[in-house]
Structure 1
Amino acid sequence: MAGSDTVLARAGAPAGQRGAAFRPDIEGLRAIAVGLVLVYHAGVDQIPGGFVGVDIFFVLSGFLITGLLVRELERTGRVSLPRFYARRAKRLLPATAVVLVVTALLTWWFIPVTQWRAFGGDIVSAALYVVNWRLADRSVDYLAEGTGASPVQHFWSLAVEEQYYIVWPLLLLLVGLVVRRTRAKVRPTMAVALALIVLPSLAWSVHLTSTQPAVAFFVTTTRLWELGIGAAVAIGATQWSRLPALASAVLGWAGLGAIVASAFVLSATTPWPGSAALLPTLGTAAVVVAGFRGGGPARLLAWRPMVWVGGMSYSLYLWHWPLVVAATFAAGGELGAKRGLLVTAAAFVPAWLSLKLVENPVRFSTWVGARARHALVVGVACTVVGVLAGVAILLAVPKAPPAPPDLQPEDPTSRVGAEVLVADGPQAGAPQDTSRFITPAPVDAVDDVPEAYDQECQVESDGAEPKPCSWGDPDGTLDVAVVGDSKALQWTSAFDEVGRTEGWRVTTWTKSACAFADVVQTQDGAPYDTCTQWNDAVLAELRAAPPDVLVTSQRSTSAMPPEGGDSSSDAMVEGLERRWQEVTDLGTRVVVLLDNPAPPDDVYECVAENLESLTTCAFDRSEGIEDSAAPEQTAAAQAMGDTVGVADMTRWVCPTDVCAPVIGDVLVYRQGSHITDTYVRSTATMLRDELVAAIGAAGTEES
């Protein structure tokens, strides 16, 4: 991907400028790699492991760049960092700048404004080649789940490569110093230095993939070994041509077989990269080694159409993903394989144009190539252009009418959120086209969350250890445990206020997408084992110190039945009954806080696009209730009888037959069916009344 400027594979160069050592089989491998990536991103399910194309690129880049460096080190005894980075700058950055500018325009044209802040930052990070760390952080951020696929998400692999090319040349400077002082041989010394990168990186990759797979996918430390495998092939280059022809051919075909098998056997459910990535990476290394003898699959890979595609692979990789993301947003959902293939095929047009009109003219420019600093200046200028493209999107984020700064609590016109329902009745919550102001602003909705997230009270999907967080009155006389998923946690701010005013000690125990139920829940179609473990652990904590009251809420509506099979609503109801019975057996009163009505789409995105016609974003209350977890919760509560109280906040969230997106100038919903913290705070008095009544109905005494 990023190393095609070397004499080993110069398919992008004019025919007369190709070196004698040109390896067409390398270009063929590049064609396979980019083809797998394009087909995978197009959504072709028949090739579930197409993502291994990136891993093929890693090996090839490590091989090509290390080959260049090792020859320079053998020839001069040192590595010129200015020349090295000048070559990288003129090869990569001009095309990158063009793609980032076009990506910013596509974001502006096709992507909802609520995503601009995140994606503008992504573009800036992509221009600086650090976007992989930003994506790694987002991958474990529960609050970022509402963010769509970034149009520069594919830049993560380019960032990994460029970060490797900071570490590896610096290490080779030390190799050169050792070689000059000890007269050691260059290649064996480089092999030792390489081992210091590859072995720890591979071990860390296996570990992190098993503990934090979402992070492991993006971070540089778990990928360095893949580039190192390619580097090892380059270091041993003098030996590979001595392999027997038959052994070389067998090795090459076996390697190609491993690559093909990877594409069909591996899938998105495979822990990645980890040890599984050894299959395509070692396969790629085997094909490259065999190519030194020109046998095995070398002739197949040197087929002219494959060489042509391989020469365009960097451009294709850059262009295809922004087009896929823009088309997906424009279509309002998944493209499907057919449309996805059409979009990725369309990427050939800008890829060819940028190769001919941008990449090659800069890359082979006499002025740019005359001095290293010329290329570095061009690189800096291109980086600045990419950064400015992202900044432009950040600056273009629209602002909703702000809340007046001088609202007075005693002024009736200052009532906000659910407060208007108390003062003016349910009709005050009917949908209206406009609002005096909207708080939080729609573009800020995903950040309008309770303090509990900053305190890391929510256990993420890969964790099983409960984390209690304390709220309310620490000296209160009533112990209240709030247990469930994010739909329970969303009420934390109101629980905290109620606890302080009523003398309740409130403790929250929550886990992402995990209902408090004695049943096997699922995630991505597979048993959600950490949810089961968390459930058991929380129950043990409650048994050790039973609270006076347990309040539970959830979003999950189905679970696997005990006998196995497909998930069902009935299984969830039965699981809730069993769990609630276990809690009531402790002498604790159980209150179920019904899930709020669920909108069909992200309301905050709709509001951002329809600030003057807010009724566009309203939805039917009965359908919203049906799509929530309230039916399952109600059924379980009815089966439990008087031992379980029910608190229903529906009339304070959606007081009329049609649910309004904005009530009392406050945006009601953030991600999915979650309620903004600003609105939750406005319901504290109503939540108190609902809870007190439900606790009484469950047979406990009000404190």
Structure 2
Amino acid sequence: MTDGTDARPVQTRRNLGIDLLRGLSILFVILNHLGLRIPLKKTALADVLPPWFLSRLNYNGYEAVFVFFVISGFLIAGNALQRWGGLERIDLRAFYARRFARIVPCLLVLVAVLAVLHLMAVPDYTISRPGQSLPGAIWAVIGLHLNWYEGRTGYLPGNWDVLWSLSIEEVFYIGFPLICLLTRRRWLLVPLLVILALSMPWTHAALRGNEIWQEKAYLPGMSAIALGVLGALLAARSRTLPARTTALLGWLGTIGLMATTIDGAVMWHLLRDGYMLLLALSALCLLLACEQRQRRGDWHAWRGLDWLRSWGRLSYEIYLTHMFVVFAMVRLFKLAGGDLRLGFLWYLLALPLCWLLGAAVERWLSTPCERWLRAALLRAPAAADPRQPASVAAD
């Protein structure tokens, strides 16, 4: 598939492993937002599963977003390399048009819906903190500084709050192609990316005085994206690795992710702010392993995980809309008596509803709008399916 502005074909076969990792990440985000309101460790599941394990299921949403950052950098840089042959040859107009077509339609519709719900004073959607306002929140979203806005004024209602990660990603992708064109040499670009990537522990630690800003500041998130870009550059230059080396990368990534998510407290004690860098490096190892397996064509997808891969394909739509389902389920849970012992049953209803809402938005809003906007902005025939490149939400 091409975008009409370049001669290089772009990979059209999805990477099943990356879809799986994205699906797992978005699942952790939803479990986190449900767990803040209906903790699994207080349900009857605690009679059969260790409470620490249930807590880990509920409280790794922040880490999952950083995994998304690494995936985003890996896929967008990888697709740019395939499309233009080098980051120094990025077509600015085409790059920005593709980002606009992918991100903006769903985002604007979401902001419009949230604004109406606020004006109607609907509980869970009303902006009420001192120093916050509807115009301020809208401008923070559109101006890509919602993370900074929350750092100054406090948390916004949940559906607004999830947009902090978009502020980080899109500011990065506004500057990324410009830096690539200005440096024009890989030996200049790569050291800048390495410095940014390795700065994560220090930029995270330097912001300890403001908990919200420390979580949502630009530089730590951009560090994870930069690491993904470095991974894409490495993957583009490397030859096909032996199967054992690919397996080693996969195992290193899996062990690292398990260490930082299942036993994050221990890793924090050992590494302090460096544990987020370990998380990002582990995600990168898995991405490189997935890329190598895709290159060799030796994927043997287990159909039992197709459902989780479908979550990965819909990750952007699910991420933007899942709080509507979370708030609805919590309201119904309370109306039904709020029995925490049976709270896990509401997860069984909420999770498929999150997927269904994301699938509906993808089918009826994001795909048609993205196809039309790409055709209009790039003056190229609309592709049959703009989701076919491995990137989906990242391209």
Question: Does TM, normalized by the shorter one, top 0.5?
Answer: yes
Residue 151 of structure 2 corresponds to residue 151 of structure 1: no
SS at match of 1:347: helix
* Partner-residue secondary structure (3-state), 1:110: coil
Asked whether the 8 Å contact 2:314–2:359 carries over to 1, the reply is yes
- Native 8 Å contact 1:240 1:292 kept in 2: no
SS of 2:292's equivalent in the other structure is coil
Q: 2:263 matched to which residue of 1?
A: 265
* Matched-pair contact (CA < 8 Å) for 1:29–1:301: no
Aligned residues: 343
- Alignment deviations for residues 616-642 of structure 1 (CA, whole Å, 9 cap, x no partner): xxxxxxxxxxxxxxxxxxxxxxxxxxx
Give the C-alpha shift of residue 152 in structure 1: 1.0
Give the equivalent residue in structure 1 for 2:361: 354
Aligned partner of 1:464 in structure 2 is none
- TM-score w.r.t. the length of structure 1 is 0.44
Q: CA deviation at 1:341?
A: 5.6
Structure 1: segments with no counterpart, 5+ residues = 8-16, 140-146, 180-185, 375-703
Q: CA deviation at 1:62?
A: 0.7
Secondary structure of the 1:242 match is coil
CA contact (8 A) 1:164 1:224 kept: yes
Q: How does 1:235-384 map to 2 (within 5 A)?
A: 235-266=233-264, 274-294=273-293, 299=300, 303-325=305-327, 328=330, 331=334, 337-338=343-344, 339=346, 342-365=349-372, 368-372=374-378
CA separation in 2, counterparts of 1:277 and 1:163? 21
Deviation (angstroms), 1:150: 3.7
2:21 aligned residue (1, 15, 29):
29
- Would the aligned equivalents of 1:39 and 1:50 in 2 still touch at CA under 8 Å? yes
- Which of these residues, 159, 168, 179, is aligned with residue 171 of structure 1? 179
Shift of 1:347: 2.0
In the alignment, is the contact (CA less than 8 A) between 1:204 and 1:221 conserved in 2?
Answer: yes
**1:98 equivalent among 102, 105, 109:** 109
Tell me how far 1:319 sits from its aligned partner: 0.5
Q: Any unmatched runs of 5+ in structure 2?
A: 4-8, 42-53, 381-395
What is the match of residue 44 of structure 2? none
Equivalent position of 1:134 in the other structure? 149
Q: How does 1:264-663 map to 2 (within 5 A)?
A: 264-266=262-264, 274-294=273-293, 299=300, 303-325=305-327, 328=330, 331=334, 337-338=343-344, 339=346, 342-365=349-372, 368-372=374-378
Q: CA deviation at 1:153?
A: 0.4
Which structure shows the higher helix fraction?
2
| Partner of residue 61 from structure 1, selected from 68, 72, 76 | 72
Instruction: Please give the secondary structure, in 2, of the residue aligned with 1:115.
Output: coil
| Aligned counterparts of 2:126 and 2:83: Cα–Cα separation in 1 | 49
**AA aligned opposite 2:243:** A
Match of 2:223 in 1: 225
Distance in 2 (alpha carbons) for counterparts of 1:354 and 1:114: 25
- Kindly provide the CA deviation profile for residues 278-332 of structure 1, in whole angstroms up to 9, marking residues without a partner as x: 2321111011111232189964588432322211111111111244346557859
Q: Which amino acid in the other structure matches residue 108 of structure 2?
A: A
Compute the displacement of 1:369 (Å): 1.8
Q: Confirm or deny that 1:89 pairs with 2:106.
A: no
Aligned pair in 2 of structure 1 residues 341, 214: CA closer, same or farther (>3 Å)?
farther
Q: 1:41 aligns with which of 12, 33, 42?
A: 33
TM-score by length of 2: 0.74
Cα deviation, residue 77, structure 1: 4.8
* Aligned counterpart, 1:162: 170
Aligned partners of 1:273, 1:123: CA distance in 2, in Å? 35
Rg larger in structure: 1
* Partner SS, residue 292 of structure 1: helix
1:379-418: per-residue Cα shift (whole Å, max 9, x none)?
xxxxxxxxxxxxxxxxxxxxxxxxxxxxxxxxxxxxxxxx
In structure 1, what is the Cα distance between the partners aligned to 2:364 and 2:84? Answer: 34
Of residues 43, 58, 70, the one that matches 2:81 is 70
| Deviation per residue, 1:340-375 (Å, 9 max, x gap) | 56334422222111100111112223x64243489x
Task: Read off the aligned partner of 1:35 and give its amino acid letter.
Answer: L
CA distance 1:227–1:68, change in 2 (3 Å): same
* Bigger relative contact order (CA 8 A; separation at least 6): 2
CA contact (8 A) 1:171 1:193 kept: no
Q: Which whole-Å CA distance do the structure 1 matches of 2:159 and 2:68 have between them? A: 20
SS at match of 2:206: helix
Distance 1:248 1:70, change over 3 A: same
Identity over aligned residues, as a percent?
23
* Equivalent-residue separation in structure 1 for 2:71 and 2:92 (angstroms): 21
Q: 1:263 Cα shift?
A: 2.7
Residues 1:125 and 2:140 aligned together: yes
- 2:123 aligns with 110
Alignment of 1:207-218 (within 5 A): 207-209=206-208, 211-218=209-216
SS at the partner of 1:294?
A: helix
One-letter identity of the residue aligned with 2:148: W
Per the TM alignment, residue 80 of structure 1 is displaced from its structure 2 partner at its CA by: 2.0
Could you tell me whether the CA contact under 8 Å between 2:203 and 2:220 is conserved in 1?
yes
Q: Distance in 1 between matches of 2:2 and 2:217?
A: 26
Q: 1:85 to 1:18 in 2, by over 3 A?
A: closer
Report the AA paired with residue 49 of structure 1.
N
Cα distance in structure 1, aligned partners of 2:268 and 2:178: 34
- Residue aligned with 2:311, SS: helix
Deviation at 1:131, TM superposition (A): 0.6
- RMSD of aligned alpha carbons: 3.7
